[in-house]
Structure 1
């Protein structure tokens, strides 16, 4: 079986990751804390173009995988497409994203607060993508 994927939902979910990140890491939300604990100097002169393009590509891949996994979950379990999207987002986040962040950050000796901040950002990002994909039910 090949999952049916709503490409408009994937594109909107991809864009949603940029919106979430822009809000999350703004100085008035968590940006100042993130810069301090991640040791990022504000206005260091580095171009953000490449990181933004990379983020768009990996966010598209994440949204595409989430859409496919949601379709499979819905096909198997039935019920609400939105509920399946949210649960699938939560499971994928916990099983892959959070687990990998925690592992890598522990070995790299990163502050626990930075790991928590980045993991929670990814949780919110995945849940927003899940809402978008769930609302664009095929």
Structure 2
């Protein structure tokens, strides 16, 4: 099983596409701006190259992690020590991969695990930070909702694209 770098890059890029839609003023953008106190003038003063560049870098980091969360076969690979040890693995590893190498490698299964990751990782992290920052529940719902959608999309792309 080879690591699919194209899927990881596509998944990372999806965060920008979904963000463009999610934070559009006609969707949740205006509500988010009201909840954060952000104005159009402040938003336009931001360094867009830095913001979008770092967003893509951090999304790449998340997409790499998502591979381990949504592709079960990485667990078997980890049990033998990683890709460097495939040649020296016991025959049972090859037999296991022959039997189960593509099991649960679907967009639907990846979306399920991505959604669960958003719900059980993204939401708590965002909610805890937001509570201490005294942000509103609207802010928490919009931000955690975005990350749950992103992780769902990333999981689908990474798991389903073989």
Which bracket does the TM-score occupy, shorter chain normalised? 0.7 to 0.9
RMSD between superposed Cα atoms in Å:
2.1
Q: How many residues align?
A: 135
**TM-score with structure 2 setting the length:** 0.74
Deviation at 1:79, TM superposition (A): 3.3
Distance 1:75 1:86, change over 3 A: farther
8 Å Cα contact 2:15-2:59 kept in structure 1:
yes
> For structure 1, which segment, 32-41 or 47-56, has the greater mean C-alpha deviation from structure 2 after superposition?
47-56
Distance 1:131 1:62, change over 3 A: same
Deviation at 1:123, TM superposition (A): 1.0
Distance 2:5 2:140 in 1: 32
**TM-score with structure 1 setting the length:** 0.86
Deviation at 1:130, TM superposition (A): 1.7
Gaps of 5+ in 2: 77-99
Distance 1:132 1:104, change over 3 A: same
Deviation at 1:108, TM superposition (A): 1.2
Q: Which residue of 2 aligns with 1:96?
A: 121
Q: Which residue of 2 aligns with 1:19?
A: 17
Distance 1:79 1:135, change over 3 A: closer
8 Å Cα contact 1:63-1:129 kept in structure 2:
yes
Distance 1:72 1:80, change over 3 A: closer
Q: Which has the larger radius of gyration?
A: 2
Q: Which residue of 2 aligns with 1:131?
A: 156
Gaps of 5+ in 1: none
Matches within 5 A, 1:23-62: 23-44=21-42, 45-62=45-62
1:107 equivalent in alignment to 2:126: no
> For structure 1, which segment, 77-86 or 88-97, has the greater mean C-alpha deviation from structure 2 after superposition?
77-86
